[in-house]
Amino acid sequence: MHPMRGKVAIVGAADTEVGIVPDLSATQLCIDAALRALKDAGTSKDQVDGLITCNSMAEPYMYHAEAMAEYLQIFPSYCMSVGAGGGTTFSILHHAASAIATGVCDTVLISMADSMRSGLTRDQAMAMQSSTGHTQFEIPYGPTVPAFYALIAQAHMARYGTTAEQFAAIAVSTRTHASLNPTAQKRDLITVEDVVNSRLIADPLHLLDCSLVSDGGSAVILTSAERAADFPHSPVYLLGFGEGHGHEHISQAQSLTTSTAVEAGQRAYEMAGLGPKDMDFAQLYDCFTPTVLVELEDLGFCEKGEGGPYVESGAIELGGALPVNTHGGLLSHCHPGNPGSMFALTETVTQLRHQAGERQVKNAEVALVHAQGGIMSSHTTLILSTENS
């Protein structure tokens, strides 16, 4: 058995208010998330000896984690801020796990927040996000972030016959889940027709295929499996993790339709000793609808090219074979930039504690969460469970 399997657990998890939160700065959101997670874990800041954050676009610091430690007046033995786009949040979880397993620290607080909606103008937010392109060989052509992802969608349509309606089905099921989540930014139900009739942003992506621009923060607290028993909530154990890295710039991708989510998933499954059929639900990075479709295929939930029919079948809805993005995802819950996938992690904890109310997945015990950063560039898969045996 892999030495990291089940060795650490999440013992605290919490989100700030999300959506449009103009009365809190990005720094305040980060601190608020941290304090809420500490409260959830029934512990205090003085017990934290590891701190991980990601930088904020709205209120950046040269060394963000140091600034947050100073703000909180904590003095950790392990402290860093990380940046790998949307994949940031999950990739760092296993670094923290390794630090705990090797005795570098005992209790790690991971807190991430940004104020993309209220702390930046619309043009600033757009310029910052699209700067992920290559400065000489992509950016001059005027691509937007939706345009980068549209290139993946169009290639999938050309190769496998995937349709705009199939992409739309993902937006619809995600919104239905959000309608059951009181904290979600967008809760009004939508139909496939609503999605395909919404404004085209970058063909084939319509407005409702695109995720939100939000404010918000989210935090988790990690400790060893031994220590986890001393916390008030049932621990959520990390059974497996894996990364995959294919490219930085989409014009350099080895494949537009198959990503290195394949390798990330295989590594995580192998460590956990589990496979796609063992997952009770999944949280898959959904900055745009096609991202989810490619991830479903690459993580082995359906065959390559079958993502369209799979999502149309209702499989990813609550009550389906694999409920996906039960909180409403980046498409409907919130998307404050780099911290975006943290909310998928806290939702996973909520589901595995069986505290998700109306949107609870019945008998949920094992879940897969997956995030990617860049333009399907870097991938991280985590497998979490209520049991570590």
> Is the separation of the CB atoms in 339 and 216 below 8 Å?
yes
Is residue 360 part of the contact set for another protein (CB under 8 A)? Answer: no
**38 or 256: CB nearest another protein:** 256
Is residue 362 part of the contact set for another protein (CB under 8 A)? Answer: no
Token pair for residue 138?
Answer: 């992509």
Type of residue numbered 377: S
Is residue 75 part of the contact set for another protein (CB under 8 A)? Answer: no
Measured CA to CA, the distance from residue 174 to residue 341 in angstroms comes to 14
Is residue 137 part of the contact set for another protein (CB under 8 A)? Answer: yes
Is residue 229 part of the contact set for another protein (CB under 8 A)? Answer: no
Is residue 294 part of the contact set for another protein (CB under 8 A)? Answer: no
Find, among 145, 196, 202, 205, the residue nearest to 172 by Cα: 196
Is residue 199 part of the contact set for another protein (CB under 8 A)? Answer: yes
Is residue 142 part of the contact set for another protein (CB under 8 A)? Answer: yes
Is residue 73 part of the contact set for another protein (CB under 8 A)? Answer: no
**158 or 229: CB nearest another protein:** 158
- Indicate the SS3 state at residue 388: coil
> Is the separation of the CB atoms in 113 and 30 below 8 Å?
yes
**206 or 333: CB nearest another protein:** 206
Find, among 382, 383, 381, 372, the residue nearest to 84 by Cα: 372
Here the contacts of 83-86 (C-beta below 8 Å, separation 24 or greater) are 83/54, 83/55, 83/338, 84/373, 84/374, 84/378, 85/132, 85/338, 85/372, 85/373, 85/374, 85/377, 85/378, 86/285, 86/287, 86/338, 86/340, 86/341, 86/371, 86/372, 86/373
Is residue 256 part of the contact set for another protein (CB under 8 A)? Answer: yes
Is residue 138 part of the contact set for another protein (CB under 8 A)? Answer: yes
Is residue 200 part of the contact set for another protein (CB under 8 A)? Answer: yes
| Region of 121-129, 278-286, 314-322, 349-357 interacting with another protein (CB under 8 A) | 121-129
Is residue 195 part of the contact set for another protein (CB under 8 A)? Answer: no
Q: Measuring CA to CA, how many Å separate 21 from each of 117, 185, 213, 351? A: 8, 11, 12, 25
Is residue 213 part of the contact set for another protein (CB under 8 A)? Answer: no
Token pair for residue 198?
Answer: 């919404």
Q: Which of 101, 139, 180, 225: binder of another protein (CB under 8 A)?
A: 139
Is residue 154 part of the contact set for another protein (CB under 8 A)? Answer: yes
Is residue 202 part of the contact set for another protein (CB under 8 A)? Answer: yes
The site that binds another protein (CB under 8 A) totals a number of residues, namely 38
| Region of 82-90, 150-158, 221-229, 269-277 interacting with another protein (CB under 8 A) | 150-158
Q: Which of 42, 77, 127, 230: binder of another protein (CB under 8 A)?
A: 127
The structure tokens 């609870």 sit at: 360
Is residue 126 part of the contact set for another protein (CB under 8 A)? Answer: yes
Residues that bind another protein in the complex, under the rule CB under 8 A = 123, 126-127, 130, 133-144, 146-147, 150-155, 158, 199-205, 249-253, 256
